[in-house]
Amino acid sequence: MNAALYSINHKVISWMVVLLMMVGGVISFTSLGQLEQPEFTIKTALVITNYPGASSEQVEEEVTLPLEDAIQQMSQIKHITSINSAGLSQIEVEISDQYDKHSLPQVWDELRRKVNDTQGTMPTGVSPSVIVDDFSDVYGYLLNLTGKDYSYRELHNFSNLLRRELVLIPGVKKVSVSGIPQEIVVVEISQQKLAALGLEPDYIYGLLQTQNVVSNAGKMLVGDYRIRIHPTGEFVDITEMKNILVSPADSQRLIYLGDIANVYRTTTEAPSQIYHNNGEKALSVGISYSSGVNVVDISRAISQHLESLSSEIPVGMQLNVIYDQGSIVDKSVSGFIINLAQSVAIVILVLLVFMGLKSGLLMGAVLTITILGTFIVMNVFGIQLQNVSLGALIIALGMLVDNAIVVTEGIIIGIKKGLSRR
């Protein structure tokens, strides 16, 4: 069937198709996801298991090999790579290429089940395995939280409030805080004092193990009500730890932990991440978006939410925006729209001069309708507006202009030669 002849003979249908393409194109454009770069899927997960005090040989034999045997039972596995070091097992699991991003969550769930099934057979002292499968998460919004006169603990407390607020925004997938030094409580016991009092280090260690423990103390029946009993005793500060009674049961003296030990709070000697902003200590707050969303809209929602939280920021703390993907994407999309408008205007002006007003307006309309129709196809196949797709559209504009001019010129020449308009 000749599509051109059918369109000419059925003008109502042709105009309806054009109208649907225009309306559908505008609607599709407003609903398309917008990103800076195309989404990509990393089909790799990392299984990390700590075994403090074990040599690399022990880690391999007692931890890595049982985990590998369990993981290899999965039919989706393409390749497994393991690295064994003193006290640490790392297993990199690569999934076959046939599994797309929609089926990966189910694969990772099966991987977790296989790993969890082996935890009961691990030696004493092995920490639960941790599975990391979110390597493809990209932070679309980065903030630095600074406070010259605040400690890391105070910055961390406010960052937790910030995280709870931001994760409630629709389209936000995850909010991560980095740069927090790991805090530890050090108990330095004087061996001389222990010997003088007849105490053993293991005795002190056992006492500390039984402190600050959340346990179920049962319930008490009062009339028709059952009241849950919650024993207190959690440590709030270092002073409470110093006041732990460590004297033996047969001792007539009251000996506290602070009498025989130096108890203080500090950070690990080698923190994994440290952030500074203009020379001040800082925490980094990263926000990643859900798949297929419009990052421009989410970025605006985040900015508005941060403005509403400005009154809750303590005096002396500052939130600095380091990276905003939404503003970059907005500029890219605006640039494409400007390029499209310029292309249509140039075509109309050029054809107006050399081929007449009717030809110029016709070609401008053809360009616009074609691009709007492309937006419909992109929406159907889930193609988002990002650097690659925008670049392809801009390149296609040049081809469309050339083709439109050639077709229009051919029609005009044919009509001048006496050919029928049909």
Could you report the per-residue pLDDT of 391-407, keeping only the tens digit for each? 888 788 778 777 777 87
What whole-number distance in Å separates Cα of residue 343 and Cα of residue 339?
6
pLDDT class of 84 with cuts at 50, 70, 90: very high
- How confident is the model over 191-204, as a mean pLDDT? 78
Q: pLDDT tens digit string along 256-275?
A: 888 888 888 877 766 677 88
Per-residue model confidence (pLDDT) at position 113: 92
Output the CA torsion 101→107→112→117 (10° steps).
180
pLDDT class of 213 with cuts at 50, 70, 90: low
Name which residue leads in pLDDT, 375 or 408. Answer: 375
Strands 139-147 and 44-50: unpaired
What whole-number distance in Å separates Cα of residue 88 and Cα of residue 112?
19
pLDDT class of 67 with cuts at 50, 70, 90: very high
Q: CB-side exposure of 158: number of CA atoms within 13 Å?
A: 23
pLDDT class of 112 with cuts at 50, 70, 90: very high
CB 357 within 8 A of CB 331: no
What whole-number distance in Å separates Cα of residue 346 and Cα of residue 154?
59
CB 141 within 8 A of CB 35: no
SS (H, E, C) the chain: CCHHHHHHHCHHHHHHHHHHHHHHHHHHHHHCCECCCCCCCCCEEEEEEECCCCCHHHHHHHHHHHHHHHHCCCCCEEEEEEEEECCEEEEEEEECCCCCCCCHHHHHHHHHHHHHHHHHHCCCCCCCCEEECCCCCCEEEEEEEEECCCCHHHHHHHHHHHHHHHCCCCCEEEEEEECCCCEEEEEEECHHHHHHHCCCHHHHHHHHHCCCCCCCCCEEEECCEEEECCCCCCCCCHHHHHCCECCCCCCCCCCEHHHHEEEEEEECCCCCCCEEECCEEEEEEEEEECCCCEHHHHHHHHHHHHHHCHHHCCCCEEEEEEEEHHHHHHHHHHHHHHHHHHHHHHHHHHHHHHCCHHHHHHHHHHHHHHHHHHHHHHHHCCCCECHHHHHHHHHHHHHHHHHHHHHHHHHHHHHHCCCCCC
CB 354 within 8 A of CB 412: no
What whole-number distance in Å separates Cα of residue 339 and Cα of residue 401?
13
Name which residue leads in pLDDT, 273 or 98. Answer: 98
Strands 139-147 and 130-132: unpaired
Q: Taking the chain, what is the end-to-end CA distance rounded to the nearest angstrom? A: 15
Residues facing 84 on adjacent strands: 89
Q: How many residues does the chain have?
A: 422
Q: pLDDT tens digit string along 313-334?
A: 888 888 888 888 888 888 887 8
CB 297 within 8 A of CB 119: no
- How confident is the model over 72-99, as a mean pLDDT? 90
Global confidence as pTM = 0.66
Per-residue model confidence (pLDDT) at position 10: 76
**Chain mean position to CA 381:** 24
Mean of the per-residue pLDDT values of the chain: 82
pLDDT class of 232 with cuts at 50, 70, 90: low
Set out the domains of the chain in order of their start, with CATH numbers. 3-37+329-416 (1.20.1640.10), 44-132 (3.30.70.1430), 183-267 (3.30.2090.10)
Name which residue leads in pLDDT, 48 or 200. Answer: 48
Per-residue model confidence (pLDDT) at position 419: 72
Q: Is the pLDDT of residue 100 over 70?
A: yes
Name which residue leads in pLDDT, 69 or 352. Answer: 69
pLDDT class of 68 with cuts at 50, 70, 90: very high
Q: Side chain identity at 359, as an amino acid letter?
A: S
What whole-number distance in Å separates Cα of residue 314 and Cα of residue 154?
10
Per-residue model confidence (pLDDT) at position 110: 92
What whole-number distance in Å separates Cα of residue 39 and Cα of residue 78?
22
